[in-house]
Amino acid sequence: MTRLLSSELLKLRTTRTFYALTGAAVALIVIIAVLAAALGKFKTTGTPGRDVLSVAGLAPLFALVIGVTGVTSEFRHGTITPSLLVEPVRTRLMAAKLAAQLIAGLALGAVCYAACAAIVSVLLSGRGIATGMSTSHWIGAVIGGAVASMLYAALGLGVGALLRNQVGAIVVVLAWVFVIENLLGIIPGGFGDAIKKYGLSGVGSSLARTASHASRIGQVPAGLLLLGYALLLVIAGTIIVRQRDVSS
Amino acid sequence: MLWVVVAVVVVAGIVIAVFGWDRYRGGREAAGNGSHAEPTGEVFVDTESGRRMRVWYDMATGRRDYRPEQPSDTALRAELLAAGPGIDQQDHQHEAQTVEGGHQPAAAGAGQVGPRVRPATAGGGHTDISVAIRVTGLTKRFGKTVAVERLSFSVAAGRIVGFLGPNGAGKTTTMRALVGLVRPTAGTATIEGRRYSELEHPVQTVGALLDGDDLHPGRSGRNHLHVLARAAGVAPARVDELLELVDLTNAADRRSGGYSMGMRQRLGLAAALLGDPQVLVLDEPANGLDPQGIRWLRNFLRSRAGEGCAILVSSHVLAEISQLADEVVVINHGRSVLQAPLAELMAQGNGGMRVAGPDVARLAELLRADGAQVEGAGHGAIVVSDRTGEQIGRMIAANGIVVSELAAHGESLEDVFFELTGYERGPS
Query: Structural domain boundaries of chain A?
Result: 2-243
Distance CA(B154)–CA(A207), nearest Å, equals 58
> Residue A14 is nearest to which of B4, B208, B223, comparing CB atoms?
B223
Q: Work out whether strand B186-191 and strand B160-164 pair parallel, antiparallel, or are unpaired.
A: unpaired
* Domain boundaries defined on chain B: 31-100, 133-344, 350-410
DSSP run (H or E) holding B365: helix B360-369
Contacts of B215 in chain A (CB under 8 A): 77-79
* The pLDDT of residue B80 is above 60: no
pLDDT of residue B423: 59
Sign of CA dihedral B404, B409, B410, B413: negative
pLDDT tens digits, residue range B186-207?
999 999 999 999 999 999 999 9
Q: What are residue B148's DSSP bridge partners?
A: B140
> Which of B2, B216, B222, B283 has the highest number of chain A CBs within 10 A, making it the mutation to test binding with A?
B216
Q: What are phi and psi of A65, to 5 degrees?
A: -70, -40
Confidence of residue B92 (pLDDT cuts 50, 70, 90): very low
Contact A78 B196 (CB under 8 A): no
Contact A10 B227 (CB under 8 A): yes
Contact A247 B173 (CB under 8 A): yes
SS (H, E, C) B140-207: EEECCEEEEEEEEEEEECCCEEEEECCCCCCHHHHHHHHCCCCCCCEEEEEECCECHHHCCCHHHHEE
Q: What are phi and psi of B56, to 5 degrees?
A: -110, 150
- Which residue did the predictor score with more confidence, B15 or B56? B56
If you average pLDDT over every residue of chain B, what do you get?
75
* The pLDDT of residue B245 is above 90: yes
- The closest of B344, B345, B353, B428 to B396, measured between CA atoms, is B353
Which residue of chain A has the CA closest to B197? A88
Contact A73 B216 (CB under 8 A): yes
Contact A99 B208 (CB under 8 A): no
* The pLDDT of residue B142 is above 50: yes
Distance CA(A196)–CA(A181), nearest Å, equals 8
Confidence of residue B410 (pLDDT cuts 50, 70, 90): low
Angle at A101 between CA A31 and CA B16, to 5 degrees: 145
User: Residues of B numbered 257-316 whose beta carbons fall under 8 angstroms of chain A's beta carbons: which are they?
Assistant: 271
* The pLDDT of residue B226 is above 80: yes
DSSP run (H or E) holding B292: helix B291-306
- The closest of A182, A31, A246 to B179, measured between CA atoms, is A246
> Nearest CA to CA, how far is A172 from chain B (Å)?
23
Residues 6+ away with beta carbon under 8 Å from B4: A143, A144, A147, A223
pLDDT of residue B25: 44
pLDDT of residue A83: 96
Q: What are phi and psi of B132, to 5 degrees?
A: -95, -40
Count CB atoms within 10 A of the CB of residue B57: 15
> Residue A14 is nearest to which of B181, B203, B227, comparing CB atoms?
B227
pLDDT of residue B351: 64
Contact B176 A246 (CB under 8 A): yes
- Amino acid at residue number A140: G
Q: What are phi and psi of B311, to 5 degrees?
A: -130, 125
Contact B7 A227 (CB under 8 A): yes
SS3 for B352? coil
Contacts of B196 in chain A (CB under 8 A): 88
- Which residue did the predictor score with more confidence, B111 or A204? A204
pLDDT of residue B67: 65
Contact A219 B3 (CB under 8 A): yes
Contact A99 B15 (CB under 8 A): yes
> Nearest CA to CA, how far is A139 from chain B (Å)?
9
pLDDT of residue B387: 83
* The pLDDT of residue B390 is above 50: yes
Confidence of residue B105 (pLDDT cuts 50, 70, 90): very low
pLDDT of residue B306: 94
> Which of A1, A71, A86 has the highest number of chain B CBs within 10 A, making it the mutation to test binding with B?
A86
Residues 6+ away with beta carbon under 8 Å from B406: B353, B354, B355, B389, B392, B393, B396
Q: What are phi and psi of B374, to 5 degrees?
A: -125, 135
Confidence of residue B154 (pLDDT cuts 50, 70, 90): very high
Of A87-91, B107-111, B346-350, B424-428, minimum mean pLDDT range: B107-111
> Residue B22 is nearest to which of A17, A80, A89, comparing CB atoms?
A89
Q: Work out whether strand B353-356 and strand B405-408 pair parallel, antiparallel, or are unpaired.
A: antiparallel
Confidence of residue B113 (pLDDT cuts 50, 70, 90): very low
**Taking residues B321-334, what's their average pLDDT?**
89
Torsion angle of alpha carbons B365, B367, B370, B371, nearest 10°? -100
pLDDT of residue B21: 46
Length of chain A: 248
pLDDT of residue B420: 75
pLDDT of residue B237: 95
Contact B202 A85 (CB under 8 A): yes
b/e per residue, B268-282, with b = 16+ CB within 10 A?
bbbbbbbbbbbbbbb
Residues 6+ away with beta carbon under 8 Å from B210: A81, A85, B172, B175, B176, B179, B181, B281, B283
> Residue B230 is nearest to which of A3, A92, A140, comparing CB atoms?
A3
SS3 for B65? strand
Contact B66, B75 (CB under 8 A): no
Distance CA(B135)–CA(B250), nearest Å, equals 40
* The pLDDT of residue B75 is above 50: no
**Taking residues B85-91, what's their average pLDDT?**
37
Confidence of residue B72 (pLDDT cuts 50, 70, 90): very low
Distance CA(B248)–CA(B223), nearest Å, equals 13
C-alpha to C-alpha distances, B131 to A220, B103, B104, B189, B211, nearest whole angstrom = 58, 10, 12, 12, 25
Contacts of B21 in chain A (CB under 8 A): 91
CATH placement of domain B350-410: 3.30.70
Torsion angle of alpha carbons B289, B295, B298, B301, nearest 10°? -80
Q: Say yes or no: B163 contacts chain A, CB-CB below 8 A.
A: no
* The pLDDT of residue B95 is above 60: no
Specify the CATH number for B133-344; select among 3.30.590.20, 3.40.50.300, 3.30.450.20, 1.10.150.20. 3.40.50.300
pLDDT of residue B43: 57
Q: What are residue A9's DSSP bridge partners?
A: none
- Amino acid at residue number B407: A
Confidence of residue B233 (pLDDT cuts 50, 70, 90): very high
> Nearest CA to CA, how far is B270 from chain A (Å)?
12
ipTM of the modeled complex:
0.92
Query: What residues of chain A score a pLDDT lower than 50?
Result: none
Q: What are residue B340's DSSP bridge partners?
A: B328
Length of chain B: 428
Contact A86 B228 (CB under 8 A): yes
- Which residue did the predictor score with more confidence, B254 or B59? B254
C-alpha to C-alpha distances, A209 to A44, A145, A192, A216, B415, nearest whole angstrom = 20, 8, 20, 8, 75
Count CB atoms within 10 A of the CB of residue B346: 25
- Which residue did the predictor score with more confidence, A97 or B347? A97
Contact B230 A95 (CB under 8 A): no
Distance CA(B150)–CA(A68), nearest Å, equals 39
> Residue B22 is nearest to which of A84, A92, A224, comparing CB atoms?
A92
Contact A84 B181 (CB under 8 A): yes
C-alpha to C-alpha distances, A104 to A7, B13, B304, B336, nearest whole angstrom = 14, 19, 42, 49
Contacts of B226 in chain A (CB under 8 A): 10, 14
Contact A245 B271 (CB under 8 A): no
- The closest of B341, B222, B72 to A14, measured between CA atoms, is B222
Distance CA(B249)–CA(A48), nearest Å, equals 56
pLDDT of residue B211: 83
Where do the H-state alpha helices sit in chain A?
A: 2-13, 16-39, 48-53, 58-77, 80-86, 90-126, 135-163, 166-175, 181-185, 190-198, 200-207, 219-243
pLDDT of residue B97: 36
Which residue of chain A has the CA closest to B227? A7
Tell if the pTM clears 0.80, that is, is over it: no
Distance CA(A196)–CA(A213), nearest Å, equals 11
